[in-house]
């Protein structure tokens, strides 16, 4: 007789029936859904702008207002990604929170920046296949990174590999800096590798999280100024892009330098 052949008894008190995760959406989950919605709207805004640009017969990059809208939506998605975790820790989250977060991140920090880069790469003759390869690398790196993160034990002070929101912002900065096409492809492939690498990035907790939110707010303001044609807006965008790329490249070395003395003391 198999276990299922016997009578089904009601579960005793204190078993899985009482401890099952809550599957109703909480406030943190709505922030996560807002993250996914911003990623979708960024793709929609980019596709609409690209279609209008092509229909008008205009050459060159997309208008600043269109690009500022797309990047601004991605920055808002990144801010919501920081907020949902803090809200979940303070108010509690649902049993779906982690899964929703991963799915939203694939949209906002995987597909959206990958599509953004492909659209940029289509401007250069003969580069579209390479741009598609680099954009696909971004999307796959985000998926692999999120899957690996789900399998890691919670509570670590560091992310293994470049976090997806920072990876997405790095891809965006490559497009905004508008480098030579092959250099842009190489940079995006490097960013994809960083996301699945073993390099460590500190988690933005406590004051660090508020600092990240402040930086994202400044980024949204700069993009709005750039899109509206404010004088020196282009210079500010270049400075912001250089700062983002500098952060991404130097932080792992800073982590290694600060952890070595600690390990030596042990």
| pLDDT-based confidence at residue 2 (cuts at 50, 70, 90) | very low
Rounded Cα distance, 87 and 29, in Å? 9
- Please tell me which residue, 43 or 9, carries the higher pLDDT value: 43
Do 203 and 157 meet the contact criterion of CB atoms below 8 Å apart? yes
User: Cβ(171)–Cβ(185) under 8 Å?
Assistant: no
**Of the candidates 111, 210, 110, which has an alpha carbon nearest to the alpha carbon of residue 162?**
110
**Which structure tokens are listed for 68?**
């500022």
Task: Check residue 246 and give its pLDDT.
Answer: 78
Give whichever of 3-12, 36-45, 57-66, 166-175 has the largest mean pLDDT.
36-45
d(CA 160, CA 2): 44
pLDDT greater at residue 25 or residue 247: 25
Assigned token pair, 90: 């303070």
Q: What three-state secondary structure class fits 158?
A: strand
- Residue 178, phi-psi category: left (phi > 0), alpha (psi -120 to 50), beta (remainder): left
pTM score, two decimals? 0.81
For residue 5, pLDDT over 60 is answered with no
What pLDDT band is residue 259 in, cutting at 50, 70 and 90? Answer: low
141 falls in which pLDDT band (50, 70, 90)?
A: very high
Cα 34 from Cα 15, distance rounded (Å): 34
Write the pLDDT tens digit of every residue in 183-219: 999 999 999 999 998 887 777 777 777 787 887 888 8
pLDDT (average), residues 228-251 = 78
What pLDDT score does 230 carry?
A: 80
Q: What is the average pLDDT across 116-129?
A: 87
Query: Apex CA 42: angle with CA 96 and CA 198, to 5°?
Result: 60
pLDDT for 137: 96
The CATH topology of domain 25-45+60-265 is 1.20.120
Residue of 62, 32, 30 whose CA lies nearest to 47:
62
Q: Which two tokens stand for residue 255?
A: 């982590």
Stretch 226-248: mean pLDDT: 78
* CB-count exposure of residue 14 (10 Å: 0-12, 13-18, 19+): exposed
Token pair of 235 as six digits? 């210079």
**Residue 76 pLDDT grade (very low, low, confident, very high; cuts 50, 70, 90):** very high
Mean predicted lDDT score pLDDT of the chain: 81
Domain boundaries, the chain: 25-45+60-265
């Amino acid at each position: 007789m198999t276990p299922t052949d016997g009578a089904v008894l009601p579960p005793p008190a204190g078993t899985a029936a009482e401890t099952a995760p809550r599957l109703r959406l909480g406030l943190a989950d709505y922030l996560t859904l807002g993250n996914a919605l911003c990623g979708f709207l960024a793709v929609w805004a980019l596709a609409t702008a690209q279609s209008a640009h092509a229909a008008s017969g205009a050459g060159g990059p997309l208008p600043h207002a269109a690009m500022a809208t797309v990047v601004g939506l991605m920055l808002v998605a990144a801010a919501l990604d920081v907020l949902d975790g803090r809200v979940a820790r303070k108010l509690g989250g649902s049993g779906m929170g982690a899964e929703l977060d991963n799915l939203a991140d694939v949209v906002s920090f995987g597909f959206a920046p990958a599509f953004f880069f492909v659209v940029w790469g289509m401007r250069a003759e003969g580069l579209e296949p390479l741009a598609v390869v680099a954009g696909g690398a971004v999307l796959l790196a985000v998926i692999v990174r999120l899957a690996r993160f789900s399998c890691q034990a919670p509570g670590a002070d560091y992310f293994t590999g470049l976090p997806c929101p920072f990876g997405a912002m790095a891809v965006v900065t490559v497009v905004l800096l508008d480098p030579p096409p092959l250099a842009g492809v190489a940079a995006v492939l490097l960013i994809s590798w960083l996301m699945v690498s073993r390099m460590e990035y500190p988690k933005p907790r406590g004051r660090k999280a508020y600092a990240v939110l402040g930086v994202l707010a400044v980024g949204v303001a700069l993009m709005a100024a750039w899109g509206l044609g404010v004088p020196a807006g282009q210079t500010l965008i270049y400075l912001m892009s250089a700062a983002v790329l500098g952060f991404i490249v130097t932080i792992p070395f800073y982590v290694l330098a600060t952890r070595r003395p600690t390990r030596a003391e042990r």
